Structures are given as C-alpha cells and as structure tokens.
C-alpha cells in the first residue's frame, strides 16, 4: 500500500513515499576527494530507471564528511537529474542528521530548499557516553527534531554509526505516534524489533489516527523474512550495484506474501539467497568497496574514492569486488 505523510503543516510532501526498496547512494568523488556531481547524476538516473528508490546523504553517502554546502549541491543535482530524465514523481529521502537537534533541524530546512522531500535522521553518537543509556535524552532529541523539522522524518537506528546507541522497539513505537514521523530504518538488523514496530503501526487503531508507516530494514538480506512479519521493503547499500536484482526480489516477495503462490515463493527464496550472498560481500567491502564495484562493474568514475578518514581500497577489497562477478552477470540479464 502506498503511504504518504500527513504530518504537520511544514512536513507534508507532494511526492508519495511508497513501500519498496531504496538505495542509500554513495557520493561519487574524484581522486582529490571532490564531490563528482556529474557521476552522481548518472547514478541517480540509473537507479530510478531500475525502479529503485533513492536515499541521499546517508552513511554510504558519507554525509558526515561533507560540508553543508556540499550536501545542498548533492540534493540539487539529484533533483535536476531526476526531473530531466522524466522522474518527476520520484521522492528524495535525504540524511539530515547533525551533531545536535538544532543543527539537524537547520539541515532539514536546507535540504527542503535544495529539493528534498523527506528526511532520515540518525541519533547523534558523539555524546553516547552521556545519552546512550538515557532513553529520555534519545526521545528528547527526536521529539525536538520531529516538532520542528520542515520535512517528514524517518528515524534511522544504526548502532554501528551512533557509537552503539540502539533504539528499542518501545521507544520507536512511542516516537511513531508523532504526526511528523513516517518511518524507521532498522540497520540494527533486528527482525523482532521490526515485527513489533510493524504490528503497532499497521494496526487498525494506529491507521485510524495516522498515515501508513514505513518499517525498513537496512540490509536487503533480511528484506524477505522482514516482509513476512510486516516490514515494508528495505533500504540497502547493495542496491548501488545490483538494483534490478533487488527490485525483482521485492516484487517476488510481495507477490509470494500476498498470494501464497508456490512459484512466486520459490522465486523469492531463490532471489533472497542470491541477494543475501551479495549483500554480505558488499558489507565486508565497505564504502570504498562499493565505490570500486561501481567503477569496475558499472562504469569507470561512477564511484571514485572515499573521503578521509575512510580508508581506500586494499587488495582484500579488490578480491571482494571481484567476487561480485556472478551477481553482476545476473543483474546484466535483467
């Protein structure tokens, strides 16, 4: 079911955020670590043509390494590329997380002015020693952001990028009641947490008061089992490389779950196993490996290098990227 935020007067988007699969794009960079907007535009259109949803300036996008002006330039370039290619209705979910609530709110305003439709916000991790065990501090941060963001907000739970802060299902359910909160990305990999959040937000009582709510795992290797228990798709970095395969998996899984059709179930399981294997390789290869894979398998210059302090590719990274060959060959048949 397509969902659209009906949040506060500042947070309504005219582009629907539908159930499905989304890719947190890498931010292409030249050898001297400058943002390559030309390469970014190519990747944006390539993914949209494949039916893949778009997330800018997330973890894969190295948002924490970019200047505020660079963030705006990435959003503007992506919107321009989508419009030029006829993808006017494709929404842009954009990372607006900052080190404080005040900066996060300002980044959302800046993102909207640049062409963003929705925001995704991670819990700041610098002061994890002070707030990591303090649920009130975590809820206070998100409530302040939700109250004041000019964009509808998806909560991004990624302990690995938030100094170990892991938001539990009770807190997520409480925050999901806010009218400007439209979803949660769970890169904690916790299917049980997603199941509990989905059960709450898909209940008749919740839907009588709110628009549909997105519950999205941050890995495509748990998308199919996650969808079985109510999750609504996935946000997956592996989509940078094999978007058509992942879109095909989502469609097969949705059909299998909706109809119980044996053929669709067998196809979904086969695709799940294929994507799970590729996903693990990409996770191990990291951001530098994802960029290298784009350069090797898709088009030279489409990825480039990461910005320091992220390490560049090693011999092991090259080996991992080479092992993606069979997955790229399958992608090329679609």
Residue 86's φ and ψ, nearest 5 degrees, are 85, 10
Q: Which of 185, 193, 244, 291 is catalytic?
A: 185
Q: Cα(319)–Cα(327) distance, rounded to whole angstroms? A: 14
Residue 173 known to bind ligand:
no
Q: Which of 22, 156, 224, 250 is catalytic?
A: 156
Q: Cα(289)–Cα(292) distance, rounded to whole angstroms? A: 5
Q: Cα(154)–Cα(51) distance, rounded to whole angstroms? A: 21
- In contact, 156 and 119? CB cutoff 8 Å: no
Catalytic residue check, 255: no
Q: Cα(101)–Cα(99) distance, rounded to whole angstroms? A: 7
- In contact, 48 and 87? CB cutoff 8 Å: yes
Element (H, E) at 282: helix 262-293
Catalytic residue check, 22: no
Q: Cα(74)–Cα(61) distance, rounded to whole angstroms? A: 10
Binding annotation for pyruvate: 235
Catalytic residues: 156, 185
């Amino acid at each position: 079911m397509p969902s659209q935020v009906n949040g506060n007067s500042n947070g309504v988007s005219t582009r629907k955020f539908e159930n499905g699969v989304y890719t947190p794009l890498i931010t292409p960079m030249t050898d001297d670590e400058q943002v390559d907007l030309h390469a970014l535009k190519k990747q944006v259109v390539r993914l949209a043509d494949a039916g893949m949803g778009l997330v800018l300036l997330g973890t894969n996008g190295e948002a924490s390494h970019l200047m505020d002006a660079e963030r705006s330039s990435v959003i503007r370039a992506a919107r321009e590329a989508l419009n030029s290619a006829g993808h006017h209705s494709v929404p842009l979910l954009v990372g607006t997380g900052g080190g404080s609530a005040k900066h996060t709110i300002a980044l959302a305003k800046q993102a909207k002015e640049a062409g963003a439709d929705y925001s995704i916000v991670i819990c700041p991790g610098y002061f994890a020693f002070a707030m990591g065990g303090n649920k009130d501090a975590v809820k206070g941060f998100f409530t302040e952001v939700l109250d004041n963001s000019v964009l509808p907000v998806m909560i991004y739970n990624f302990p690995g990028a938030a100094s170990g802060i892991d938001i539990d299902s009770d807190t997520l359910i409480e925050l999901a009641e806010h009218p400007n909160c439209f979803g949660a990305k769970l890169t904690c990999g916790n299917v049980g947490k997603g199941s509990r959040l989905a059960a709450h937000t898909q209940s008749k009582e919740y839907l009588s008061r709110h628009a549909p709510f997105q519950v999205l795992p941050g890995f495509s290797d748990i998308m199919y089992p996650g969808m079985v228990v109510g999750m609504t798709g996935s946000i997956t970095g592996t989509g940078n490389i094999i978007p058509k395969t992942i879109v095909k998996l989502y469609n097969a899984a949705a059909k299998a779950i909706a109809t119980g059709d044996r053929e669709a179930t067998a196809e979904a399981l086969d695709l799940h196993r294929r994507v799970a294997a590729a996903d693990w390789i990409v996770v191990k290869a990291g951001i530098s490996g994802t960029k290298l894979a784009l350069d090797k398998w898709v088009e030279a210059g489409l990825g480039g290098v990461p910005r320091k302090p992220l390490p560049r590719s090693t011999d092991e990274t090259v080996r991992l990227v080479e092992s993606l060959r069979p997955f790229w060959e399958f992608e090329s048949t679609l």
